[in-house]
Structure 1
Amino acid sequence: DWHGERIVDVPPRTVAHEGPVYERPFHRPSWQDALQANSPDALPRPCAPDELRATLLDLVGAPNLASKSWVTSQYDRYVLGNTVLAQPEDSGMVRVDEETGRGVAISTDCNGRFAKLDPYAGAQLALSESYRNVVATGAIPLAVTNCLNFGSPEDPEVMWQFAEATRGLADGCLELGIPVTGGNVSFYNQTGDVAILPTPVVGVLGVIDDVYRRTPMAWGPDGELIYLLGDTHDEFGGSEWAHHVHGHLGGLPPRVDLARERLLGEILVAGSRDGMLTAAHDVSDGGVGQALVEMALRAGVGARCWVPDGLDPFVFLFSESTGRAVVVVPRSEELRFTEMCAARELPAYRIGVVDSGLGPDAGYAEGTQVLQVSDLFTVSLAEVREVHEATLPAVLNA
Structure 2
Amino acid sequence: AKKGCEQAIIDIFEKWELDVAVIGEVTATGNMELFWHGEKCAEVPVQPVSEQAPVLDRPTKKPAYLDGIENIKLDKEISNQVAFDDLFSDMEVVDKSWVYSQYDSMVQTNTIKGPGKLDGSSIRIKETGKALAMSADCNTRLCYINPELGAAAAVMESGRNVAMTGAVPKAITDCLNFGNPTNPEVMWQFAASCEGIKKACKELNTPVIGGNVSLYNETNGVGVFPTPSIAMVGVNEDANKVLPSCVQENGNILYILGETKSEFGASLYMKKMYGKVAGVHPEVNFEKELALWNTVIEANKQGLLKAAKDVNVGGIAISAAKMAVVGNIGIEISISLNDSKDIFSESLSRAIVEVRPENCEAFENVAKSFNIEYSRIGKVGGDKISINDIYKDLDKASYVYFNRFKQVIEQDL
Q: TM-score, normalised by structure 2?
A: 0.86
2:12 equivalent in structure 1: none
1:271·1:337 contact (CA, 8 Å) conserved in 2? yes
- Give the length in aligned residue pairs: 376
**Gaps spanning 5+ residues in structure 1: where?**
357-368
1:152·1:188 contact (CA, 8 Å) conserved in 2? yes
C-alpha distance in structure 1 between counterparts of 2:245 and 2:353, whole Å: 8
2:341 equivalent in structure 1: 314
User: 1:59-98 counterparts in 2 under 5 A?
Assistant: 59-88=87-116, 89-96=118-125, 98=126
2:357 equivalent in structure 1: 331
C-alpha distance in structure 1 between counterparts of 2:385 and 2:360, whole Å: 22
Shift of 1:13: 11
2:145·2:280 contact (CA, 8 Å) conserved in 1? yes
1:42 equivalent in structure 2: 74
2:84·2:390 contact (CA, 8 Å) conserved in 1? no
1:223·1:354 contact (CA, 8 Å) conserved in 2? yes
C-alpha distance in structure 2 between counterparts of 1:73 and 1:148, whole Å: 27
User: 1:172-183 counterparts in 2 under 5 A?
Assistant: 172-183=200-211
C-alpha distance in structure 1 between counterparts of 2:120 and 2:55, whole Å: 35
1:244 equivalent in structure 2: 272
2:94·2:401 contact (CA, 8 Å) conserved in 1? yes
Q: Which of 111, 127, 140 lines up with 2:155 in the alignment?
A: 127
1:305·1:351 contact (CA, 8 Å) conserved in 2? yes
User: 1:11-26 counterparts in 2 under 5 A?
Assistant: 19-26=53-60
Asked if 1:294 is matched to 2:328, the reply is no
1:386 equivalent in structure 2: 399
AA at the equivalent of 1:34? G
* 13-22 or 71-80: bigger deviation: 13-22
Change (3 A) 1:45 1:128: farther
Runs of 4+ in 1 over 4 A off after TM superposition: 7-19
Shift of 1:347: 0.5
C-alpha distance in structure 2 between counterparts of 1:390 and 1:4, whole Å: 52
Query: What secondary structure, in the 3-state scheme, does the structure 2 residue paired with 1:201 have?
Result: strand
1:61·1:389 contact (CA, 8 Å) conserved in 2? no
2:67 equivalent in structure 1: 33
Structure with higher RCO (Cα < 8 A, 6+ apart): 1
AA at the equivalent of 1:5? G
C-alpha distance in structure 1 between counterparts of 2:23 and 2:107, whole Å: 36
* 3-12 or 334-343: bigger deviation: 3-12
Q: Which of 311, 314, 331 lines up with 1:283 in the alignment?
A: 311
1:362 equivalent in structure 2: none
AA at the equivalent of 2:344? F
Q: Give the RMSD, CA atoms, in angstroms.
A: 2.1
C-alpha distance in structure 2 between counterparts of 1:378 and 1:36, whole Å: 32
1:6 equivalent in structure 2: 25
AA at the equivalent of 1:331? P
1:370 equivalent in structure 2: 384
For 1:38-61, what per-residue CA distance to the aligned partner results, in whole angstroms no more than 9, with x for missing partners? x2x234142xxxx21222121111
Shift of 1:391: 2.4
C-alpha distance in structure 1 between counterparts of 2:306 and 2:393, whole Å: 23
For 1:104-127, what per-residue CA distance to the aligned partner results, in whole angstroms no more than 9, with x for missing partners? 111111111111101000100111
C-alpha distance in structure 1 between counterparts of 2:157 and 2:321, whole Å: 19
C-alpha distance in structure 1 between counterparts of 2:232 and 2:209, whole Å: 10
For 1:335-392, what per-residue CA distance to the aligned partner results, in whole angstroms no more than 9, with x for missing partners? 0111221232101110001122xxxxxxxxxxxx111224x24211111112223322
Shift of 1:192: 2.1
C-alpha distance in structure 2 between counterparts of 1:261 and 1:350, whole Å: 20
Query: What secondary structure, in the 3-state scheme, does the structure 1 residue paired with 2:254 have?
Result: strand
Shift of 1:311: 3.1
User: 1:132-171 counterparts in 2 under 5 A?
Assistant: 132-171=160-199
Shift of 1:139: 0.4
C-alpha distance in structure 1 between counterparts of 2:68 and 2:196, whole Å: 22
2:162·2:234 contact (CA, 8 Å) conserved in 1? yes
Query: What secondary structure, in the 3-state scheme, does the structure 2 residue paired with 1:5 have?
Result: coil
Q: TM-score, normalised by structure 1?
A: 0.90
Q: Which of 298, 301, 318 lines up with 1:270 in the alignment?
A: 298
* 71-80 or 174-183: bigger deviation: 71-80
For 1:166-189, what per-residue CA distance to the aligned partner results, in whole angstroms no more than 9, with x for missing partners? 011011111111110000010000
User: 1:196-235 counterparts in 2 under 5 A?
Assistant: 196-235=224-263
2:317·2:387 contact (CA, 8 Å) conserved in 1? no
Change (3 A) 1:340 1:185: same
1:351 equivalent in structure 2: 377
C-alpha distance in structure 2 between counterparts of 1:8 and 1:229, whole Å: 57
**Gaps spanning 5+ residues in structure 2: where?**
2-20, 32-45
For 1:291-326, what per-residue CA distance to the aligned partner results, in whole angstroms no more than 9, with x for missing partners? 111111121111211022x532210x2000000000
Query: What secondary structure, in the 3-state scheme, does the structure 2 residue paired with 1:277 have?
Result: coil
